[in-house]
Amino acid sequence: MSDAEVPTPHRRRPRYSGKNPVRFEDKYKELNPELHAETIAKVRASGKTPAGQHVPILLKEIMEILDPQPGERAVDCTLGYGGHASALLKAVQPGGTLLALDQDPIEIVRTEARLRASGCEDSALVVKRMNFAGLPRALAELDWSDGVDVLLADLGCSSMQFDNPARGFSFKHNGPLDMRMNPQRGLAARDLLQKLSAAKLKVILEENADERHAAMLADALAGTDHATTRSLAEAVRRVLPHRVDEEERETTVRRVFQALRIAVNEEFTALDTFLHQLTNSLRSGGRVAILTFHSGEDRRVKHLFRDALRGGIFREANDEVIRPSSQEMRDNPRAAPAKLRWAIKA
């Protein structure tokens, strides 16, 4: 029998110890969208986000506001899964360039590969692994020190980070208590929690999550060691009084995780730095749009835009935040807390 006639060996499907797979890598077909397009379609049709993917929020509204044109310079400060970036990249062609920033060393490689597979010119896309607080350095490296025409910052965490238990962002699935957007830098949430005093943890819970049980939780959790997300979630539930109902109990767990994530990644510090440099990063007539998901973020953006408008730096900015429509929230529940603010430089 010739080599051409040798039949392909039959490969049995994976076997699991129980009825269903429990490992994240085995469980979610959505992690391989090219192989499971039908599954992806069903998940989205049910109003859910496929695991390991991210649906861009307020995409239509953002593109109308930013109005990117061929030949312009555009920046996506938070590349993520690349949903917004893909639309921006297409809009500035021919002749334009998209600069995309992200500090996540894991997802940035995958997203860049997807964007380049769309067939754009190599020079049309520049991807840099850095926090958006480093925007001026990125612009200087491209000789764009005079600014850009279009700038977008989506301050939400990506679904890929939340959906992967190995990243430790969510208690939905058990995983190491990490929460670092860049796993190669800084303290993991587990290590930070062990180092915090009750007084400091109380401040973090109040400022980062508006948590009304902050004092009680801080006294019980400061200095403790929790190796996994499940361990911390269960500890939070145990601290709360019996009178707290199930819904509030789970909301409190989410707030604790949110507060720690913001602290681990120094998100407010990075945002303050970014906003301080924002107006100088825009050309005359440059458009900026910022998506926030937390009252502390929105408050900072609101104050900057208001002050820049009063000072004549911006010629226009929205008074009322733009929120996702009820239909978008049904299609993508993760869009619910989003708030969009925009401005145009004078």
- Domains of the chain in start order, with CATH, are 59-159+268-345 (3.40.50.150), 183-264 (1.10.150)
How would you classify the pairing of strands 148-154 and 282-292? parallel
User: How far, in Å, CA of 155 to CA of 133, rounded?
Assistant: 12
Q: What is the pLDDT of residue 53?
A: 56
HSE toward the beta carbon, residue 165, CA cutoff 13 A? 17
> Is there a cis peptide before residue 94, judged by omega within 30 degrees of 0?
yes
Phi-psi label, residue 219: left if phi above 0, alpha if psi -120 to 50, beta otherwise? alpha
> Exposed/middle/buried for 241, CB within 10 Å: 0-12, 13-18, 19+?
exposed
Local confidence pLDDT in tens for the 346 residues of the chain: 555 455 555 555 555 455 445 554 444 444 555 554 555 445 544 444 554 456 899 999 999 999 999 999 999 999 999 999 999 999 999 999 999 999 988 889 999 999 999 888 999 999 999 999 999 999 999 999 999 999 999 998 877 777 788 888 889 889 999 999 988 889 999 999 999 999 999 999 999 999 999 999 999 999 999 999 999 999 999 999 999 999 999 999 999 999 999 999 999 999 999 999 999 999 999 999 999 999 999 999 999 999 999 999 999 999 999 999 999 999 999 899 999 999 999 9
Q: Which of 71, 68, 104, 103 is nearest to 84 (CA)?
A: 68
Element (H, E) at 292: strand 282-292
Cross-strand pairs, 314 = 345
Q: What is the pLDDT of residue 177?
A: 96
- Start-to-end CA span in the chain (Å): 77
DSSP label at residue 323: -
Q: What is the pLDDT of residue 10?
A: 55
Q: Which of 274, 328, 336, 267 is nearest to 301 (CA)?
A: 274
Asked whether the beta carbons of 175 and 168 are under 8 A apart, the reply is yes
Q: What is the pLDDT of residue 40?
A: 46
CA distances to 29, 50, 53, 163, 164 from 42, in Å: 11, 9, 14, 18, 20
- Whole-model pTM? 0.81
Q: What is the pLDDT of residue 119?
A: 86
Q: What is the pLDDT of residue 162?
A: 77
Asked whether the beta carbons of 226 and 190 are under 8 A apart, the reply is yes
Q: What is the pLDDT of residue 24?
A: 47
Asked whether the beta carbons of 222 and 193 are under 8 A apart, the reply is yes
User: How far, in Å, CA of 39 to CA of 42, rounded?
Assistant: 5
> Exposed/middle/buried for 62, CB within 10 Å: 0-12, 13-18, 19+?
buried
Q: What is the pLDDT of residue 16?
A: 47
User: How far, in Å, CA of 166 to CA of 83, rounded?
Assistant: 23
